[in-house]
Structure 1
């Protein structure tokens, strides 16, 4: 996780904990700014003559038609939150109007 420092024009690191099992991260934010999630480039090794080639494994990503079983996607949570805000605002508007 990094934040954009407008004064220096650079992305600066934010202390972050990565949870691979749940595919989530935790970062302690102390100010409002532009934040982004970055990844480190994957290092690959080329097999030498003494190494045996790895056997192919099953893909770890779910098929296109299946959703991951970890929980609701963030877009669904945001959509539900937006609908609740609209319903509460409409209820407040009608209560004040009477």
Structure 2
């Protein structure tokens, strides 16, 4: 299932960052928050999706756990769209 992840803001330290953004799946946009450990592209990420969003995702016949894992993987791998002016820590 194709998912595009957009990070709108990131704040934090060298150890962890608080992220907020949205993802697009099947042409619909949904918000999320996350904590990325080791910064964007780091070692782990904890993704939080609102219950109302999960309910909508289920109605779209999408497995919410698989979707959450996909978003987490994209955050860890840095496969995201950042706003202009924010650079990944590797640059």
TM-score range (shorter-chain normalised) is: under 0.3
Scaled by the length of structure 2, the TM-score of the pair is 0.28
Which protein is richer in strand relative to its size? 2
Scaled by the length of structure 1, the TM-score of the pair is 0.27
Name the structure, 1 or 2, with higher relative contact order (CA <8 Å, separation 6+): 2
